[in-house]
């Protein structure tokens, strides 16, 4: 039996990725790095420190202007503000949480974002009553793609990882859930829907709206 459903947050439950990209473009421009929207999509799913490191390795800037750590902190601060003010739920996000809530199956968020941002999103979307708990990879030794945050969420729920469904929209997040030995559902963005990195998922759907009772039953049947 499925004991819990655990969800990524950014880009899966909340339409935050456009806000992250807009902030990244503004912040990197302060050190002379002018990124496009498509370039920012390359780092979807990475924590902010990894985003700063990614671009410094490829297009280094003068760190006397702003260090990588300062860039990461500025992106996080800007995204926190924009998401709290403007972000909207992804299609089907609230409905899928209700799907599991109505069946008595506990739900959780397992995010690469820090706890304060997770709670901003929870309140912005009005989903606190539909969640059992939430967990941040920043509280673990390793962020995604390591499995730590999913294993931590399972511990907080008191469930067995192999009996959990995990929903992810990014390749790194999917690796994290897969590494935790969970049953995985990938919901990739349209721009990378055909990327082979999602092939490790037990199920790939175009939107959370596509998850239904037959999908649930088929995934439950996949549990040994």
Q: Catalytic site residue 195?
A: no
The DSSP output letter for 7 is E
How does DSSP classify residue 14? B
What pLDDT is stored for residue 90 in this prediction?
A: 97
The fold for domain 17-86 equals: DNA polymerase; domain 1 (1.10.150)
The conformational region for residue 104 under phi > 0 = left, psi -120 to 50 = alpha, else beta, is: left
Q: Cis peptide before 28, with omega less than 30 degrees from 0?
A: no
Which residue in 126, 144, 198 sits closest to 6, CA to CA?
A: 144
Compute φ and ψ for 148, nearest 5 degrees: -55, -45
10 catalytic? Reply is: yes
4-16+88-221: CATH topology: Rossmann fold (3.40.50)
Q: Catalytic residue among 10, 62, 169, 212, which? A: 10
- Span 129-165, pLDDT tens digits: 999 999 999 999 999 999 999 999 999 999 999 999 9
Cβ atoms of 12 and 90 closer than 8 Å? yes
Q: What is the pLDDT of residue 223?
A: 83
What are the boundaries of each domain within the chain? 4-16+88-221, 17-86
pLDDT of residue 46: 85
pLDDT of 136: 97
| Phi then psi dihedrals of residue 136, to 5 deg | -115, 135
Give per-residue pLDDT as tens, 38-52: 999 999 878 899 999
């Amino acid at each position: 039996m499925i004991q819990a459903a655990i969800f990524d947050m950014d880009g899966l439950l909340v339409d935050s990725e456009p806000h992250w990209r807009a902030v990244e473009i503004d912040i990197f421009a302060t050190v002379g790095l002018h990124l496009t929207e498509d370039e920012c999509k390359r780092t979807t799913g990475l924590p902010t420190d990894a985003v700063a490191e990614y671009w410094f390795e490829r297009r280094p800037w003068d760190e006397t202007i702003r260090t990588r750590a300062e860039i990461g902190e500025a992106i996080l601060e800007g995204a926190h503000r924009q998401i709290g003010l403007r972000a909207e739920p992804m299609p089907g996000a609230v409905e899928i949480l209700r799907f599991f809530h109505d069946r008595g199956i506990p739900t959780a968020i397992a995010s690469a974002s820090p706890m304060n941002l997770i709670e901003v999103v929870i309140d912005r979307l009005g989903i606190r009553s539909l969640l059992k708990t939430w967990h941040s990879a920043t509280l673990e030794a390793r962020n995604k793609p390591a499995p730590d945050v999913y294993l931590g969420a399972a511990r907080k729920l008191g469930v067995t990882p192999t009996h959990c469904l995990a929903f992810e929209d990014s390749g790194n997040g999917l690796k994290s859930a897969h590494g935790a030995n969970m049953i995985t559902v990938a919901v990739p963005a349209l721009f990378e829907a055909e990327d082979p990195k999602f092939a490790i998922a037990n199920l790939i759907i175009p939107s959370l709206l596509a998850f239904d009772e037959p999908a649930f039953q088929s995934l439950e049947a996949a549990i040994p």
